[in-house]
Chains A and B, each alone.
Chain A
Amino acid sequence: MMKPQAQAQRTNVGGVMSQYLLLVYEPEVDAAEQAERETILPLLLELHDSLREAGLLVSVERLHTTERATSVRLRDGETEIVDGPFAVTKEALAGYYVLECADLDEALKHAARFPMTRWGTVEVRPIMPAERWAAAAREAGVEVSNEEMRQRT
């Protein structure tokens, strides 16, 4: 297939990078199957190293299972504390990454490298920059500057 000329040119004029939250969802499984999943660790650590070396990895955390979750909400003036996750689903949030990428294609490319995609799902969510948050608040009548937002969020 012929390659069109002058391709792959990045559109970000100022070379601005975007941050993406990669949410790792997996079905929670029994101990035996979980032990099998743990064996991917060396692979995962290598992946972390490569992302870190490329300057893309902002943060990574693994979560305890939803059995350890506690949910809080305020209803009719009463604080309700519920033992368990926000929603019981087949696939539960198991961990997350924050990556800094040039665009969505790059974020998707890295998301596909995670071994958890074999049994789970990685949801890629763009992180809202402080200026966008500020603009949304200003539109709703809140007085806030981009500068203040950058400092306090």
Chain B
Amino acid sequence: VSESAELADPVARAITSAYADERAIVLATLIRQVGDFQLAEDAVQDAFEAAVTAWRRDGVPASAGAWITTVARRRAIERLRRNRSVTDRAERLAELTRLQDEPEESFMDEPSTIVDDRLRLIFTCCHPALDMSARVALTLRVLGGLTTGEIARAFLVAEPTMGKRIVRAKRKIADAHVPYRVPADEELPDRLRGVLRVVYLIFNEGYAAAAGERLVRGELCDEATRLGDLLCELMPDDGEVWGLSALMLLHDARRDARVDRSGRYAALADQDRSLWDGDRIRDGLARLERAVRLRRPGEYQLQAAVTALQMQAPDAESTDWAQIAELYGALARLTPSPVVELNRAVAVGLADGPAAGLELLAPLLADPVLGRYQPLHAAHAELLSRAEDATGAARAYERAIALSANAVERDELQRRLSALR
């Protein structure tokens, strides 16, 4: 069925929208009731397939979600009766049958139960006992509703490979008894950080994509920002949840401006601002404000704040580099890393002059581990050039050019090197 024909057909449209809006919710609850990921997923799939025939025959039900829930639960019971390998099968069956006999009004669970079920699903998909690539794949498949083929294409692996990865993850959840629950208070901060990492990794995977893959990869950015929305809805009292959502929206608002007309990568300062998505920016800034009001600073909020300051200034000269340097300082205390230190040195160099920046760069340049880190040498060259040390700057540019693996980047460094002379 072609996409336009599907849109013209009200039943197909209802199923598509139920799939997008209700599937993850129904699945989240059914997994808890059935106690088996795969069985619940199969039962929900059955229900959607049954809907195609039934809704054509009887019309689209008033509450598509309730219809899918009922049918999926019935199919789960049938599947559970046949599947003797589920360990606590008898208890599961008794519980499901009891639920089935309840009056129809109680079919839809309390809102707080729905929230908890969705959180359980997120925390299970992002469980640290699963390999990172499996967490990402499972999250996209189960929560995002991407097909295995779509996920495989987005991560540039063969579809059977991705299929195996997802199946393996589900089997491990079942056989190792990865619990289906929201972590206890003492584990929650750590585990939530793990979830945010998965979401941000999905976003970056999409955002950092090369031009040729942009169409497929754009889906990853969309899925990640949607997951960010969902987390804001489910855990509205966590600053980092809002911070990550803000950060992704602020980056995403500039998606179209990152490549200029000649197909070259454009850094933030050189981007055509008319291509920025104003609505996304406003939404991102509002979320950042909400995060800051919760008064629990974290790495995503700080990164979002840096991005916001850069975007709100009309150009690089009038950017508040002193405040950005301060934000990087806070970030360095929270999550120390050479990358953060480098960014801080660059910001300090712009706020207080190149000498101050060079001073912060010195310990990084002395670290042999960072010797082959190209951005360090590019930043070093930039600072030396502004300090009017042309010889030193030329040496650093040559170093950076030698280390660069990217042609576009190399051209840009070459251009700056030539401008020195």
Give A residues with C-beta under 8 Å from B: 1-14, 16, 18, 101-105, 108, 124, 126, 128-129, 131-132, 135-136, 146
Question: In the complex, A101 Cα to B179 Cα: how many Å?
Answer: 11
CB neighbours (8 Å) of B91 from chain A are: 13-14, 16
19 A-B residue contacts at CB 8 Å? A1-B296, A4-B116, A5-B115, A6-B113, A7-B181, A7-B182, A7-B183, A8-B183, A8-B184, A9-B181, A11-B180, A12-B35, A14-B90, A104-B177, A104-B179, A105-B179, A105-B187, A131-B87, A135-B85
CB neighbours (8 Å) of A14 from chain B are: 88, 90-92
For chain B residues 153-204, which have a beta carbon within 8 Å of chain A?
A: 175-185, 187-189, 192
Chain B contact-residue range equals: 35 or more
Q: CB < 8 Å: which of B32, B116, B238 contacts A2?
A: B238
Give B residues with C-beta under 8 Å from A: 32, 35, 84-85, 87-88, 90-92, 95, 112-113, 115-116, 119, 129, 175-185, 187-189, 192, 234-235, 237-238, 296
Decide: A128 near B181, CB < 8 A? Known: A3-B188, A7-B116: no
Chain B interface SS verdict (over half): loop
CB neighbours (8 Å) of A8 from chain B are: 181-184
Question: In the complex, A85 Cα to B89 Cα: how many Å?
Answer: 40
Q: CB < 8 Å: which of A5, A108, A132 contacts B129?
A: A108
Decide: A4 near B95, CB < 8 A? Known: A13-B88, A104-B129: no
Q: CB < 8 Å: which of A2, A7, A101, A132 contacts B184?
A: A7
Q: Are A11 and B32 in contact (CB under 8 A)?
A: yes
Decide: A1 near B192, CB < 8 A? Known: A13-B35, A103-B177: yes
Other than the given A4-B234, A131-B85, 5 more pairs (CB < 8 A) read A1-B296, A4-B235, A5-B116, A6-B113, A124-B176
CB neighbours (8 Å) of B185 from chain A are: 3
CB neighbours (8 Å) of B88 from chain A are: 12-14, 16
CB neighbours (8 Å) of B87 from chain A are: 16, 129, 131-132
Q: CB < 8 Å: which of A2, A12, A18, A124 contacts B237?
A: A2
Question: In the complex, A34 Cα to B287 Cα: how many Å?
Answer: 56
Q: Are A126 and B176 in contact (CB under 8 A)?
A: yes
The chain B residue with its CB closest to the CB of A6 is B116
Question: In the complex, A6 Cα to B185 Cα: how many Å?
Answer: 12
